[in-house]
Chain A
Amino acid sequence: MLHATGVTKRIGGRVVLDRVDLDVVPGEAVALMGPNGAGKSTLLRALAWLSPPSSGQVTVGETRLPAASPGARSQMGVLLHHTFLYESLTGLENLVLHARLHGVADPKRAAGQWLERVGLTLFAHEPSRTYSRGMQQRLAIARTLIHRPKVLLLDEPYTGLDLDGEELLSGLIRQFRDGGGSVLMVTHDLETGAAVSDRFIVLVRGRVSGEMAAGAVSRAGLEELYRQGRAKP
């Protein structure tokens, strides 16, 4: 599970995140929505302790960050705008690298299995430089999941995926959640968001403006939350 209280981030004197409270329980997927520049990516980077919050607390699983952050990192799967791929390494080598860094048993086997799951077996030995954006995204998805994390942080993970790829990712997210994992996913797409999430949280100007159950979510409802968030002083 993922638990955050009072997460605040100041960048160059500006408050980008303002006392964000957040809870994602095991077996729950939460979609994070909000206008461009709301601070969604900054929040994910803060939760992953890549760009630590100026104040506030983050707990991943049983571990409070950053005290034992290496341990907490092993429980997190993080997919941001960047793919984190090495272009001169092959798809297989990229996965083996991350499997090894995360101490996965038999990294080569795990890498081979994940390549197959994301449909890249045929391109296993091609440098990732030669992959299309969608193929790179598939590889990045495999990289995110290869060490069996408990918490997933996904920033617009559908970027570049074709229809098959979208379906594949939705399936993986559902499977992950049903297996007891916690998912926090930034998305701009209401339908894909609703298809895999239980709950929507709306972030506007660095603050949580409100939330909705996935069943009750509507465009009009979201727009209302955006408006309310902007209207706050």
Chain B
Amino acid sequence: MKYLAGLLTITWKDITAEFRTKEMSTSMGIFALLVMVVFGFALRPGAEETVAVFPGFAWIGFFFAGLLGLSRSFVSEKMNGAMTGLMLAPVDRSVIYFGKVAGNLLFMFVVEAVSFPLYIVLFDVPAPQRPGSLALVAFLGTLGFVAVGTFLAALAANTRTSELLLPILLFPLAVPLVIAVVSMTRAALTGDFTDTASWWRMLVVYDAVFLVVPWLLFEYLLES
């Protein structure tokens, strides 16, 4: 109970700050739009090859936008030693991690919820056959990305080259997730789920691993 209250307090703090500064949402939103513009030059709306590559470029947009958000995620904790202040709270220090994950997850969901329908309309892609499955895929994929990304962002925040370190660590680790989420998105768009059981399993296992590992290591990461 205390754990959940602490977690929600940290998420509340991030949302309040974001509403005031709009720091993450502007960069993430602009990036998601830019992706659309860039692919708009390369792809013909409604064409067969556009529909084929659509899941891939949509997730490229989301993950890069997410990266921008994640790289800003611990900036306010670095200033004034605010992270130390959080570490003094009488709760297990993994609440800091999960509180941040919840906030980052929310920011990414907002970006996805706004840009995905926009992508669909502008590229004249047939509406998803299985919107429920699509939402589940988006949830699991985004959760995995944010789970591993938030942990790495905390790790990178303590280094001098954090802007460089985060993508270098994050993208290789995200490769299996990207493959699974793109395949599953294609399946949810077309309604053809043959041979996707292993992708579901992969998504769930990935999420579980990258929520448990930071949970165990986060306190250790903070202490020096």
Contact = CB atoms under 8 A, between A and B. Distances in A.
B84 interface: yes
B17 A73 contact: no
B194 interface: no
B48 interface: no
B81 A84 contact: yes
Interface stretch (B85-93, B106-114, B137-145, B171-179): B85-93
Interface string B62-93: 00000000000000100111101111111110
The A contact surface, by secondary structure, is loop
Contacts of B223: 50-52
A82 B89 contact: no
Contact of B88 (A51, A73, A86, A100): A73
Nearest to A52: B223
Contacts, number: 78
B76 A83 contact: no
A73 B90 contact: yes
A84 B86 CA distance: 8
B224 A51 contact: yes
Contacts of A86: 13, 17, 76, 79-80, 82
The B contact surface, by secondary structure, is helix
Contacts of A213: none
Q: For A81, A103, A143, which residue has the most chain B Cβ atoms within 10 angstroms? A: A103
A103 B2 contact: yes
A88 B76 contact: yes
Contact of A97 (B9, B79, B81, B224): B9
Contacts of B17: 86, 88-89
Contacts of A51: 223-224
A71 interface: yes
Nearest to A107: B9
A101 B89 contact: yes
Contacts of B87: 50
A74 B2 CA distance: 12
A75 to B, nearest CB: 8
A97 B90 contact: no
A51 to B, nearest CB: 6
Contacts of A102: 89-90
B162 to A, nearest CB: 19
A101 B93 CA distance: 11
B79 A71 contact: no
Contacts of A103: 2, 5, 90
24 contacts: A48-B88, A50-B84, A51-B224, A70-B91, A71-B90, A80-B84, A82-B81, A83-B80, A84-B81, A86-B76, A86-B79, A88-B17, A89-B16, A93-B13, A98-B85, A100-B6, A100-B12, A101-B9, A101-B86, A101-B89, A102-B89, A102-B90, A103-B2, A103-B5
Interface of B: 2, 5-6, 9-10, 12-13, 16-17, 20-21, 76, 79-82, 84-92, 223-224
Given A50-B88, A83-B81, A86-B79, 9 more contacts: A51-B223, A70-B91, A71-B90, A76-B88, A80-B84, A84-B80, A85-B82, A85-B85, A93-B16
